[in-house]
Structure 1
Amino acid sequence: MAEADCAAVARVRVAGWRSAYRGLLPVAYLAALDVEEDAAARREHLARAGGRVVHLVAERDGDVVGWAAFGPDRRPDAGPADAELYALYALPAVVGTGVGRALMEEVTARASARGYRSLSLWVLEDNALGRRFYAKAGFTPDGTREPWEVGGTTLMELRCTRPLAPAPA
């Protein structure tokens, strides 16, 4: 992902939130998500992250249709070999077409190449589609649940993990 991709990534992220979290988050909150504000936030995150966070985009016919970001696990007790998938979203029109799977494969390959041996993520407990996707990608809940407050609603998140294969020598 380059700075020039931030507006397209913001469109993916906002559309992804509106689709994935419909029925889970308040309608007014989802409707108020602003692509321009999100694009500014993506630019700031990209500039601040340096090389610690890897941002990837998936394109079809030159258009950004998916985005993922990963880096060091944010848990205070995480070790240097623990990575975290911070985000993975695809435009609703391409969900189920392999875009998410391709992004996940690239995330795991790049995380392994950086020396990470495990990958974790947080998924909403009630996000059945997301949980199925991550389960197919080899993630299993590790028993950790935390409340997540967004838009005046508190939801439960589950932490899921999967081992990563060592990078080929």
Structure 2
Amino acid sequence: MEIRYITPADDRMAISRVYEESWKHAYKGIIPQDYLDSIPEGSWATVLENPDWSTLVCVDHGSIVGTSSFCKSRFNQFDGQGEIISIYLLPDYMGKGFGKALLESALAELKKQGYKDVFLWVLEENLGARHFYEKEGFSATDDDLNDNIGGKDLREIRYIYGG
């Protein structure tokens, strides 16, 4: 396994496929199935070019199997903090240590960028992700966001890193 920054040579469609497959797996039963089924191929390809974000990829035997994006807080009330925007893996790589390695790399990179405090948002109903982040040193806060994905009202909980 190799974790490194995204390069111009990396296939954006392959990285987008990680998002797409991860969403369809991790959010099954949380986000409406018709919405998940309708996610078009390449949906996240252009998002990866956001100049305000840093993006890592996790490569296993030459294939991109995971990705994480992070940046300075996108929220004024959390100014001066680092934010992990996403961590996604292909379903076959979940639960095998790849997510932990990707998370640790993102945290290390945010620390190098000067962020002492780091947070992320998790869908309240995504108990698997919440358990993972808690096991890795994150704690839930009282901060939340209301969201609507695929016509369903959802709540996101802010987690802060205590490591």
Whole-Å separation in 2 of the counterparts to 1:114 and 1:163: 17
Whole-Å separation in 2 of the counterparts to 1:100 and 1:90: 7
CA drift at 1:38: 2.8
34, 40, 44: which one aligns with 1:28: 34
Gaps of 5+ in 2: 1-5
Q: Please list, as runs of the form range in 1=range in 2, the aligned pairs for 1:33-48 lying within 5 A after superposition.
A: 33-39=39-45, 41-42=46-47, 45-46=48-49, 48=50
Whole-Å separation in 2 of the counterparts to 1:79 and 1:38: 26
**Corresponding position of 1:56:** 56
Task: Give the 3-state SS of the residue equivalent to 1:7 in structure 2.
Answer: helix
CA drift at 1:12: 0.3
- In the superposition, the TM-score normalised over structure 2's length comes to 0.91
CA drift at 1:163: 4.0
Misfit runs of 4+, over 6 Å: none
Whole-Å separation in 2 of the counterparts to 1:101 and 1:112: 16
What RMSD over aligned residues (CA atoms) do the two structures have, in Å? 1.3
CA drift at 1:37: 3.4
Task: Give the 3-state SS of the residue equivalent to 2:76 in structure 1.
Answer: coil
- In the superposition, the TM-score normalised over structure 1's length comes to 0.88
Are 1:10 and 2:10 an aligned pair? Answer: no
CA drift at 1:77: 2.1
Whole-Å separation in 1 of the counterparts to 2:155 and 2:65: 28
**Corresponding position of 1:71:** 71
Whole-Å separation in 1 of the counterparts to 2:157 and 2:21: 22
Q: Aligned AA for 1:121?
A: L
Percent identity over paired residues: 31
CA drift at 1:99: 0.8
Whole-Å separation in 1 of the counterparts to 2:62 and 2:122: 29
Higher helix share: 1
Given that residues 83 and 119 in structure 1 are in contact (C-alpha distance below 8 angstroms), is that contact kept between their aligned partners in structure 2? yes
Task: Give the 3-state SS of the residue equivalent to 2:14 in structure 1.
Answer: helix
CA drift at 1:55: 0.0
Q: How many residues align?
A: 157
Task: Give the 3-state SS of the residue equivalent to 1:36 in structure 2.
Answer: coil
Task: Give the 3-state SS of the residue equivalent to 1:116 in structure 2.
Answer: coil
Given that residues 82 and 110 in structure 2 are in contact (C-alpha distance below 8 angstroms), is that contact kept between their aligned partners in structure 1? yes
Whole-Å separation in 1 of the counterparts to 2:78 and 2:122: 18
CA drift at 1:162: 1.1
Whole-Å separation in 2 of the counterparts to 1:37 and 1:71: 20
**Corresponding position of 2:83:** 84
